[in-house]
Amino acid sequence: MYVDPLHIQVRDQHAYCNAVEEEVDGKPWFHDIKEYLRMGIYPEQVTGDQKRALRRLSNGFFLSGRVLYKRTPDLGLLRYIDASQSTTVMAEVHAGVCGTHMS
């Protein structure tokens, strides 16, 4: 891959990418999965294909109280959080709260 040296920009400050997009409708993308697991009902206005897709998507997820998790192949757990929680987590990680152990 060729990089044209004339297009490289030098900045005085570090660049960080920790922006999280807000949800358009105020609900995270996993809202329907979480509600399906919690209540066992489908969202309004869904077709049969969408119901089947929701059932398949929800197989790897489970609820513990109000917290949604997904099982990974190595038996780890991924916790799903909304945009406001992710902004807080990103700020804490970049502020050094986690030290050198960010994972």
pLDDT tens per residue, range 71-81: 888 888 988 88
3-state secondary structure of 34: helix
pLDDT tens per residue, range 47-72: 999 999 999 999 989 999 989 999 88
3-state secondary structure of 79: strand
* Distance between CA atoms of residues 54 and 9, nearest Å: 45
